[in-house]
Every structure is written in structure tokens, then in C-alpha cells.
Amino acid sequence: MTRAFQGLDSGQLLLICAAGLVAVAGVAHTAAVGLDHPEIAIGFGALIAVGELARLTMPGNREVAPIGAAAALGYTLLLDLSQERLQHPALQVVAVIAVGMIAGALPHLAVGRPPRLDAMARRLLTGALLAFAFRPLADPLYLHTQPPDENWWPALAVMIVLIALSLFVDVLIAAMLRAEQVRTAFRVAFRDEINMAFPLGAAVGASGVLLALATHSMDLVALLVFAAPLLVTQVAFRKYAGIRATYLQTVRALSRVTEVGGYVEPGHSRRVSRLAVAVGRELGMAEPELLELEYAALMHDIGQLSLRDPIPGGATVLTDPDQARRIAELGAAVIKQTGVLDRVADLVRRQCDPVAADPPLSSRIIKVANAYDDLVGGSTDRDRAGAALERLRLAAGTAYDPAAIEALARVADRYAAAHRP
Amino acid sequence: MRDLPWPARVYLVVVIGTATALLWHSLFGSARPVTTAELGTLLVLALLFLVCESMPTLLNVEQFAVSVSFSAALAAVVLIGPEGAAVVGFTATLSVRPGLPLIKRLFNGAQFAICGYAAGLVYAGLGGESGVPKVNAFEDLIGPYVAATTVFVPLNIVLTLTMIRLATSEGRVEVPMRGMVQFLLSYLGYGTFGLLVAGLWATVQSISAVLVLLPLFVARWAFGQYHAQQRSYDATIAALCQAVETKDYYTRGHCTRVSAASTMIAQEIGMGLERLRAIGYAGMLHDVGKLGVPTKVLQKDGPLTEEEFAAIQLHPMRGLEIVRGIDFLDEAYAGIMHHHERHDGTGYPMGLAGDEIPEFAKVIAVADAFDSMTSDRSYRGARPVEVAVEELHKCAGTHFDPVMVTAFVRALERRPWQPPRRVDLPPPEADDKPTKDHDDPTMPIEVVSGP
């Protein structure tokens, strides 16, 4: 378990501790006063466990469990079951969510796939937050739905507003964690998280409300039917996440053919892409742009495959500019062949442009990262890194973008600090 | 309409005529006129139907674009009865899908109206009550509703397929059985959404439709993204593999053709969808390791030294090394690693024989050799397909697995092979012409031992 905690930063640890405390409080309280309507708690707990079992990893290494989240929402928002009033307290909701999540995570753990603790903690905390906000309102809202009023609109409105709020808080926490984790500006991380969370959040929210309303007119067995729309969503997102992951893996893998063919130093493409993405983050680029930057950085040397013989040593910073330009053009032509990565092709084509030609930011970053890696290679020697940066600074403003160089210097500094024995 | 064959025209008139009669009966001749309250429901459902119909969802089966609109028609069966379902179904005519000719719209609307009416009759016949269901009467709905769905869906498919069959001159539309079953199941599954909408109508009216459909629209969006990414991925992997081949003038396009041929064989021996996709990628990537072998060695004239042969033998391993980071089926790795093993155990890199050779590798070996023989090489022209097939037969049992050879020949009979265009003369600077191809079974690699 200690291994799982390594590599967590302070924000994540705080989150996990908070979630742990809330979970313990919920379970302890429930154990003390007993379960209200145990069969319902078990039913929803089981659905949460199933959802946790079917968790999936979205692009950007984000773990989500849509079915579990919707079930948790449903249990939080329950007003009645087959017109029998339900009054389970918020702490019981927390206990059910916590137990369900742990039960669902156990099979994964058994086959050696530990859950992302921070992601789990976030799911639990958002659920708890909503529970504490909604449960006290459940009783008055229920009375409205009963004769003589029979009015569901207030309940519906409250549900939707509170769900939106809890989603917002969830995104906020996620963005804070991510900003700390990948070292990007909070504002950028927040926008990325919103973009990622919105579609799935809308689907989960709607399904949660659906579950809560459905229990009004039917008993627990029918609930399974009402999880069906979300099942379709889950399948779709799993496929989407799968192909996104494979795509990135494939480009990463195939970027290595230049190394196998002896065109570039081993590990060059991967190092350049890592550097480039780190610099891009430093300069406040958002995720879609970063993905294109990563693809372009991985494939920036692919044009060399069209050369008859590898350039000795392979380093493009030392080859003559015309040759380098030709390689960039050839590489862009290869990428353009795909018919879909036109923007990536353009980034590769312009990777040799001087600052005066006003190339896109990503191209400038690739140029700087590429030159830096050509000079430093896989070495973690501080002096060598410093010398390389000095050399780049000499051409700042003409060949290289000064902002990109300074961002690279900060990234290199961090790497050096991380590698210091 | 004019370019349709006459049976299709007759069929079209019959379908539209029937639908018109049903609609007339529903709106004016019915014993149970539609009340004003129901008119509102009808309007909402029609709108819902239209929205869904205008956005056909590509569900997991590629050949069919399905929209979940029919669940709105089924909800109308419960909420209003056969008359309402017919009217809701007919609104398909008004769908805003661009580029849909009027005649197709009319047919679509008519067949949906017929299906809706028929489903309504079945629902009523089994004791289902029309009208907004009571809050606690959900369970009573389920039986009749399922029956209505099982009538609606097949009827819809039969009506549409008949039209397609009559309209296309070939007369036969090939629908894979497996896909059909999957399609029917998901179609029936989507039918439940109508039940959800109807079941919750008493509580929150039209909001129930929004709550049910929102996850579906998100799913549709995600499926769309998935398909876009998948297409983009296929294009990218092909382009990158071709980039690996650009250096060798004669083997361009080899990877895509091997991928295609491997898929043909795999289909013939009945591989499932997932494995088909994997073998396509394995065929595409089978030679990426070739870059690790110096061009001089790959194309060397005359016998190779042992070191040079060792370098060639290494290329499947190099390929595996490159692609290992990609989450494919393990079989795809095995296919790349062992595509030069021979049935009699004299291949490389491991010298596996017979059934020790993974199935993917056996398939790729045949496809690989076939494409090599039917493409131009600098030292010979492309061989005709028949000659190559004969050569495959000759090598079956020694070089290739006879099962794969037979499967490939069968597949070739069904779908003729498109050999690559003749290679134009290579540019003058390519002076050192290769004189062999390591994939060509008619030109075995000779090795001289010793220095």
C-alpha cells in the first residue's frame, strides 16, 4: 500500500485523507444507528459496486466510473420507493457509497490493478457533498410530490441545481489536482477538466435523476432497466477511451522506427516529445493542443525515413539547414498522407522556421526541444544542460523563441532536481 | 422514382397507400378520437421522434445507421395507442436530414406509420392499456410492451430491406448473419427506452424523455468521436507504415496489401470482429522491423554471409520490439514475431513447425508471400495472380499451412485481388538495384557458411 502513496502530492494526500475521514464517519454512524431500509441500501450499493468494477480510464489518465456515480446520485436523490417515504440520512448515503466503491475495487485489486486513490476519493467526496446538501431537503420536497400538491417540479429543480453544483465542485477539485500534478496553470487545467467532464457529467446527472424518479413508480428490480441508457453511454466511452489510448501508444511506438533504423539516437523522439509537452504546459497550452504537439514532436524526424542513408550521428541541429528543412518537408508529407493530421503535418513542416517566419508556437517548442536534446541527449549532467541552454540562448530571437527557451530552462531545472541523487 | 425498377415502384405505392389509409383511419375514422390532452403528448412525442430521426446514430454495427427515434413511436403506442403511433411514425417524412429525396422521406414515414400501427394493435390485443399509465402500473406495461417491440422492429427491418432489395438491381444485399443478430439485439435493447419514457410520463411528463435521451445523445456523441478516431487511427497507422517503406522503391504499399490479404484469409476462416481488426494491424505492421536491417543486406545480390542472414532473421524481433508498447491482442504480436516461420520448421526466427506456429503468423505468411509474388521487383516483373496461387499451392505443406492457402484461394475466388499498379522506372539516382526480396518464396535466401 505504501507504494500506492508514493508519487502522490500534497493536494492528493489531503483529498484522500478527507475522503477517508468522511467514509469512516459515515460507516461508524450507520453502524451505530442501523440501516434505514437495508434492502434499498444494498440494492444501490450493489449498483455502485458494479459501476466501480466497470470503471474506465479516459484520455489524460482520468479514471471515471459513470455507472457507479449515477447510482450514487440516484441513492442520494431518492424520495420514495413505490410511494413509500424514504428518510435515510446523508451519513448513510456516504456509508453506502464508500462500501459499494470498496467492494467494486476489490476484484481489481485482486488481479493487481490498484485503483487511483485520488480519483476514488474525489468520487466519494463529491457524492458526500451532494448527500449533505440534498438529504435535509428530501422531506419537504417529498411532501410537495404528495397530494394535494402532486408537484414534482420543485424536487426536479432542486435536484438539477444541486447536481450542477456538485459537478462544478468536482471539476474544481480535479483541476486543482491536475494543475499540481502536471504543473500547468489552474485556469488551463480547469478548462481541460470542464471539457472532459461535461458530456459524461450530463449523462450521469440525467441518469441519476432518472433512477431517483423511477423508484417513485416501481420497485428495485426495475431500477436495472433504468440504468440501461447509461450502459450505452459507458460502452461508447470505453470504446472512445480505448482507441484514444491505442492511438497515442501507436504513434509513440512507431516514432521509434527512426531509432531502430539508425537515423537518430535511441530515445530521441520520446525525450523530445516529453520535453516539448512539458514546455507546452509551462507556456499554458490546453490539452487538445498538447496532444497535437506531442504527435508532432514524436514524428518530427519521420522525414529522415525518406533519406537513402542515415545522416551520421543523426542530430539535425548539426546538419546543414537545407537538409534539415528537407527532412521537415518530407516528414510533413508523410503525416499529410494520413489525411487527418493536417495540423500536425503543418507543425512538423515548420519546425525549422526561424522566429522571423512566425511559425506556430508548437513548432517553436519542437525546434527548441529538439536542439536541446541533440546537444544533451539522455544525459542528466547539469553542466552539459547548462552549456546547451547557453548555446540556445545565443540564438534566442533569431533561430529560437526566447519564451520557449526560458520555459525549457525551467523544465530542465526541474528534471535535474528530480534526478539529483 | 423514375429510375426505380417497376417492382420497387409497385411496392412503394402499396406501402405509402397502406400508410395513408391507416393515417386516415386514425385521424378521422377512429372510434376513439384523440383528446386535446393527448394532442399535447402527441406533439411532444412527434417532436422527439423528429429530433432523433434527424440525428441517426451510428451504433456499434457499421453497416446500419439506426436512430433511436422508434422508441418515441413505441412510447406513443403506450401513451396514445396505435393511432398515435402511426401519426408519430409518419413524421419521419419531415426529418431534417439533408440530401434525403422526397420519395425516400415518404417511404420512411409510411413504413414507420405501418410499424407503429401494427405494434399498437399487438399492444392493445395483449391487454395493454393506452393512455398515460398510472404511477404504480409500470409492471403491467412490460409484457404487452415487449410484444409490441418484437413486432415493430422486425417489421421495420423487413419493410426496409425489401425496399432496398427491390431498388438495387443486384437483387441481393449481403447482410452478415453475425452483424444482423447483434443489430437486432441492440435494436430491441433501444426499444426499452420508449418504455422508460412512457413509464415516467405520469411523474414528470416530457422531462422523462429528456432524462432518458440525454445519456443516449452523449453516447451518440462518444460513438461519433470513437468512429472518427478509429478512422483517423487507421489512416495514421497506414501512413506511418508506408513511410517505413518509402526507401525501398519496389515494396511501397506492401503493408496495406498484406493487411488486406490477411484480413481476407482471416474472414474466410471465420475469425471474430476483434481478431479481424487485430490481424489487419498485424499485417500492416509485420515488416516495421525491416528498418533495422541495412538496406544493402536486404537487397544484396547472391548468397548472404551468416552474419547478414542473422541480421535478416532479426527483423521480426525488431518489429515486435517496436510495437510491443501498443495494446493489441497478444496474437498480433505473435503474428509479427513469427511471420517467417515455415510449416516444415525451416523458417525463422524460432524454427517453429506446423501447429506450433501461431495462427496469425500462418495467415500473414501466406499474405506476405502472395503480395511479394504479385508485385513488381527490379529483378522480375509482377507474376499474374494465377501463377502466384499455383506457387502457393506448390509450397503448401512445406512453406505454408495448407489450410490458410485453401482459405486464401477461396477468398480470392469470391473477391478478385487488385495487384499493385506497375512500378514506373525508379529514379536514376537509385543506382544499386535490389536483386531479391526476403518475402519472395520463389527466391529462397542462400547463405554461405564460414568466412
Please check whether residues B61 and B112 belong to one and the same domain.
Answer: yes
The answer to whether residue B50 scores a pLDDT higher than 90 is no
- Residue B397 in domain: yes
Residue pairs spanning A and B at CB distance below 8 A: 186
Please check whether residues B191 and B310 belong to one and the same domain.
Answer: no
Confidence of residue B253 (pLDDT cuts 50, 70, 90): confident
Please check whether residues B278 and B188 belong to one and the same domain.
Answer: no
The answer to whether residue B276 scores a pLDDT higher than 80 is yes
**Whole-angstrom Cα Rg for chain B:** 30
Give the distance from residue A335's alpha carbon to the nearest chain B alpha carbon, in angstroms: 7
**Quick one: pLDDT at residue B283?**
94
More confidently predicted of A183 and B365: B365
Give the distance from residue A357's alpha carbon to the nearest chain B alpha carbon, in angstroms: 28
The residue type at A359: P
Please check whether residues B72 and B150 belong to one and the same domain.
Answer: yes
The residues near B45 (Cβ < 8 Å, ≥ 6 apart) are B72, B73, B75, B76, B79, B80, B84, B88, B209
A255-419: CATH superfamily: Hypothetical protein af1432 (1.10.3210.10)
> Which cell numbers in the block locate residue A85?
417515504
More confidently predicted of A107 and B141: A107
With beta carbons under 8 A apart, name residues in chain B contacting A209. 211
- For residue B58, the Cα-to-chain-centroid distance in whole angstroms is 11
Give the distance from residue A340's alpha carbon to the nearest chain B alpha carbon, in angstroms: 6
**Quick one: pLDDT at residue B61?**
43
The residues near B245 (Cβ < 8 Å, ≥ 6 apart) are B251, B252, B253, B254, B255, B287
Confidence of residue B433 (pLDDT cuts 50, 70, 90): low
Q: Report the residue from A83, A229, A253 with minimal CB separation from B326.
A: A253
Residue of B nearest to A241 (CA): B226
Chain B interface includes A109 (CB < 8 A): no
pLDDT tens for the 421 residues of chain A, in order:
444 455 567 888 999 999 999 999 999 999 999 888 898 899 999 999 999 999 999 988 899 999 999 999 999 998 888 778 888 999 999 999 999 999 999 999 999 888 888 899 999 999 999 999 999 998 888 888 887 777 888 888 999 999 999 999 999 999 999 998 888 889 999 999 999 899 999 999 998 988 888 887 777 766 777 777 788 788 889 989 999 999 999 999 988 888 887 788 888 999 999 999 999 999 999 999 999 999 999 999 888 887 766 666 555 566 677 888 888 998 999 899 888 899 999 999 999 888 888 999 999 999 999 999 988 887 878 888 889 999 999 988 888 999 999 999 999 888 877 776 5
Q: What is the 3-state secondary structure (H, E, C) of chain A?
A: CHHHHCCCCHHHHHHHHHHHHHHHHHHHHHHHHCCCCHHHHHHHHHHHHHHHHCCEEECCCEEECHHHHHHHHHHHHCCEECCEECCCCHHHHHHHHHHHHHHHHHHHHHCCCCCCHHHHHHHHHHHHHHHHHHHHHHHHHHHHHCCCCCCCHHHHHHHHHHHHHHHHHHHHHHHHHHHHHHCCCHHHHHHHHHHHHHHHHHHHHHHHHHHHHHHHHCCHHHHHHHCHHHHHHHHHHHHHHHHHHHHHHHHHHHCCHHHHCCCCCCCHHHHHHHHHHHHHHHCCCCHHHHHHHHHHHHCCCHHHHHCCCCCCCCCCCCCCHHHHHHHHHHHHHHHHCCCCCHHHHHHHHCCCCCHHHCCCHHHHHHHHHHHHHHHHCCCCCHHHHHHHHHHHHHCECCCECHHHHHHHHHHHHHHHHHHCC
Give the distance from residue B275's alpha carbon to the nearest chain A alpha carbon, in angstroms: 15
* The model's pTM: 0.84
The string of pLDDT tens digits covering residues B145-162 is 889 988 888 888 888 888
Please check whether residues B306 and B196 belong to one and the same domain.
Answer: no
Q: Decide if B240 and A217 are in contact by the 8 Å CB cutoff.
A: no
Mean pLDDT of B126-130: 79
Confidence of residue B62 (pLDDT cuts 50, 70, 90): very low
Residue of B nearest to A208 (CA): B211
The answer to whether residue B320 scores a pLDDT higher than 50 is yes
With beta carbons under 8 A apart, name residues in chain B contacting A80. none
Mutate to test the interface with B, among A235, A250, A255, A304 (most CBs of B within 10 A): A250
Give the distance from residue B79's alpha carbon to the nearest chain A alpha carbon, in angstroms: 16
Distance CA B296, CA B308 (A): 10
- Residue B364 in domain: yes
Domain CATH number, residue B93: 1.10.1760
The string of pLDDT tens digits covering residues B65-76 is 566 778 888 888
Q: Which of residues 184-203 of A touch B (CB under 8 A)?
A: 199-200, 202-203
Chain B interface includes A168 (CB < 8 A): no
Give the distance from residue B61's alpha carbon to the nearest chain A alpha carbon, in angstroms: 12
Mutate to test the interface with A, among B236, B314, B324 (most CBs of A within 10 A): B236
- Residue B62 in domain: yes
**Quick one: pLDDT at residue A1?**
41
Mean pLDDT of B443-449: 65
Range of the domain at B67: 6-225
- Residue B336 in domain: yes
Q: Helix or strand or coil: residue B329?
A: coil
More confidently predicted of B62 and A405: A405
Please check whether residues B198 and B290 belong to one and the same domain.
Answer: no
With contact defined as beta carbons under 8 Å apart, do A331 and A301 qualify?
A: yes
- Residue B164 in domain: yes
Domain CATH number, residue B295: 1.10.3210.10
Mutate to test the interface with A, among B67, B193, B218 (most CBs of A within 10 A): B218
Please check whether residues B58 and B158 belong to one and the same domain.
Answer: yes
Domain limits, chain A: 2-243, 255-419
The string of pLDDT tens digits covering residues B8-26 is 888 888 988 998 888 888 7
Q: Decide if A233 and B239 are in contact by the 8 Å CB cutoff.
A: no
Q: What value of ipTM does the predicted structure carry?
A: 0.85
**Quick one: pLDDT at residue A42?**
92
- Beta-strand pair A80-81/A56-58: unpaired
Give the distance from residue B106's alpha carbon to the nearest chain A alpha carbon, in angstroms: 30
- Residue B1 in domain: no
Q: Decide if A218 and B289 are in contact by the 8 Å CB cutoff.
A: no
Chain B interface includes A143 (CB < 8 A): no
The CA angle A249-A373-A407, to the nearest 5 degrees, is 90
- Residue B102 in domain: yes
Q: Report the residue from B214, B231, B295 with minimal CB separation from A206.
A: B214
Confidence of residue B63 (pLDDT cuts 50, 70, 90): very low
Give the distance from residue A208's alpha carbon to the nearest chain B alpha carbon, in angstroms: 9
Mutate to test the interface with A, among B211, B277, B320, B432 (most CBs of A within 10 A): B211
**pLDDT, mean over chain B:** 81
The string of pLDDT tens digits covering residues B155-208 is 888 888 888 778 775 545 455 666 677 677 777 777 778 888 887 887 777 788
With beta carbons under 8 A apart, name residues in chain B contacting A247. 229, 232-233, 236
- Residue B236 in domain: no
Q: Decide if B247 and A306 are in contact by the 8 Å CB cutoff.
A: yes
The residue whose grid cell reads 471465420 is: B270
**Cα separation values, A167 from A62, A335, B442, Å:** 15, 39, 66
Q: Decide if A217 and B136 are in contact by the 8 Å CB cutoff.
A: yes
The number of folded domains in chain B is 2
Count of other CB atoms within 10 angstroms of residue A7: 8
Please check whether residues B72 and B201 belong to one and the same domain.
Answer: yes
